[in-house]
Structure 1
Amino acid sequence: MPVALPAPAFSCLVLDDDLLVRDLAASFVEQIPSLTLTGLYDNAVLAFEHLARQPVDLLITDIELPQLNGLELVRALRQPPLVIFVTSHPHYALPTYDLDAVDFLVKPLRFDRFLRAVDKALLLLRAKALPPTHPAPAGPLPADDSFFIRTEFQFLKLHYAEVAYVEAMRDFVKVHLLDGTVHITLVNLKQMEAQLPPHLFVRTHRSFLVNTGKIEAVTNQEVRVGNVEVPLGITHREAVLAQVVQQHLLARHPGKPE
């Protein structure tokens, strides 16, 4: 009878200047068999030195820190690990998108929410550890209503109509489906954008590619897909308006430009 091999343990560093939060996060990490806590810090500069000397797979860090905040720390690292940000202030969520954060946790920490964030990171780490496959051909996919992605365990067929949006995670993307399911695949967003039908998907932000048919509202800073607000970058706003809104906009004087 085959014996299941233990999952590899990935290294993790926790950084928070609040003793109670730091110890709580560390205790959460120690309850997850796939993670090994290799650093526990209250000082971002000391954490930076550790990460420069001994890189880790996952960094769990507060944002508001003395001397060097969590965002600045990640930007300062030459090769930052996967990051889960922790903060008491939800308004920091938007800047974390530009750093390809795995997740964004608002204090007080809850183990169920913490576990969900870590699970996303583990999916990415395990996907990265998979043996390489033959590179996909360049250019758009064949005309069809579906495509395949490689996940941790299988080649999975997805239909364009079930995809809400695609989110970049450095060399990975997270494919978010309308039913809330998220699949992670080792393809970057640029490669994904080049192969998906351009009339069905539009780039709204450096980190997001959205199914045009699922966009329900557009503002100056975001597009709404179901209950999710996806960032809309200023450099992509004009293209989104042209592709999503203008062709379907009811005008005051039909047939005349507004």
Structure 2
Amino acid sequence: MMPATEPPITCLVLEDDLLMRDLVGSFVEQVPALQLIGLHEQPLAAFEQLARQPADLLISDIEMPGLNGLELVRALRQPPLVIFMTSHQKYAAQSYEVDAVDYLLKPLAFDRFLRAIDKARQLLQHRRAARLINEPSPAPWPPSTPGSSSQEDYFFIRTEMQFVKLRYDEVAYIEAMRDFSKVFLEDGTVHITLVNLKNIESQLPAPLFVRTHRSFLVNASKIEVITNQDVKLLKVAVPLSQTYRDEVTERVVQNRLITRRSG
């Protein structure tokens, strides 16, 4: 899962149920890329350890007595990457608000756990690459041609040590992951770029992309269904928050809605 030249992913587990805590601990110990540095029952104990000993990854239950997993992450000044695990789907939207890497439903399956760990591994690789590069602020992205009022139909992103050319019409949506972003293409390809979502949104053509959630920017032309909770495109459901619902509906539907005319 992880090249031997890379440092291990330091990991802390928080779970108040003994059997589940032992299970997750055993999962962690089976993955060579992970280094378990804490196995906690109480949220405050986990908080104190993370305050004095930063970790790369926190794997945490959500519903616990006193401080729950979401509140714990919000309380940390520099939270690690987080994978939540819970028996309830109702916390999914809140997990996006704290930029969770993944959201696992109990009972946990080891193969699903491995997929979540692989997501965290990729994000840590890019974060470490960003620190190593230590480059100045990137130039305007995508670049524009001086004196030209029209946008090209493509742009470039930087992923680790290379530049990747993408066409606007092949981008399905973009997801915020703290200080970088994941670009999902129509063909299923995913690119991670060292640019946050706010900067991407400000430099992409506004008519083509619409914000559906604080963590998601969607290609408006790909949206097929709009509900109260999400937008659906390419068989994927992307969260739609109340803040952006009216704007998304107006931008996407516009004057294309077929209505029953009176008279």
The answer, yes or no, to whether TM exceeds 0.5 is yes
> Which residue in the other structure is 1:87 paired with?
86
> Which residue in the other structure is 1:105 paired with?
104
Measure the CA separation in 2 of the matches of 1:186 and 1:245.
Answer: 32
Match of 1:167 among 162, 165, 175: 175
**TM-score w.r.t. length of structure 2:** 0.89
1:68 counterpart letter in structure 2: L
> Which residue in the other structure is 1:136 paired with?
138
> Which residue in the other structure is 1:158 paired with?
166
Please give the secondary structure, in 2, of the residue aligned with 1:235: helix
Measure the CA separation in 1 of the matches of 2:32 and 2:160.
Answer: 18
Measure the CA separation in 2 of the matches of 1:199 and 1:69.
Answer: 40
Q: Using a 3 Å threshold, how does the CA distance of structure 1 residues 127 and 139 change in structure 2: closer, same or farther? A: closer
2:201 is the alignment partner of 1:193: yes
> Which residue in the other structure is 2:154 paired with?
146
Measure the CA separation in 1 of the matches of 2:87 and 2:140.
Answer: 44
User: 1:37-52 alignment to 2 at 5 Å?
Assistant: 37-52=36-51
Please give the secondary structure, in 2, of the residue aligned with 1:94: helix
Could you tell me which runs of 5 or more consecutive residues in structure 2 were left unpaired when the two chains were aligned. Answer: 145-150
For the aligned residue pairs, the C-alpha RMSD in angstroms reads: 1.9
Moved more, 230-239 or 83-92: 230-239
User: 1:1-258 alignment to 2 at 5 Å?
Assistant: 6-130=5-129, 131-138=133-140, 141-142=143-144, 143-152=151-160, 154-253=162-261
Measure the CA separation in 1 of the matches of 2:20 and 2:191.
Answer: 30
Q: CA deviation at 1:153?
A: 5.4
Q: CA deviation at 1:173?
A: 0.8
2:212 counterpart letter in structure 1: T
Please give the secondary structure, in 1, of the residue aligned with 2:46: helix
Please give the secondary structure, in 2, of the residue aligned with 1:179: coil
Could you tell me which runs of 5 or more consecutive residues in structure 1 were left unpaired when the two chains were aligned. Answer: none
Identical counterparts, % of pairs: 62
Measure the CA separation in 2 of the matches of 1:129 and 1:70.
Answer: 26
In the alignment, is the contact (CA less than 8 A) between 2:179 and 2:194 conserved in 1?
yes
2:181 counterpart letter in structure 1: V
Q: How many equivalent residue pairs?
A: 251
In the alignment, is the contact (CA less than 8 A) between 2:141 and 2:155 conserved in 1?
no
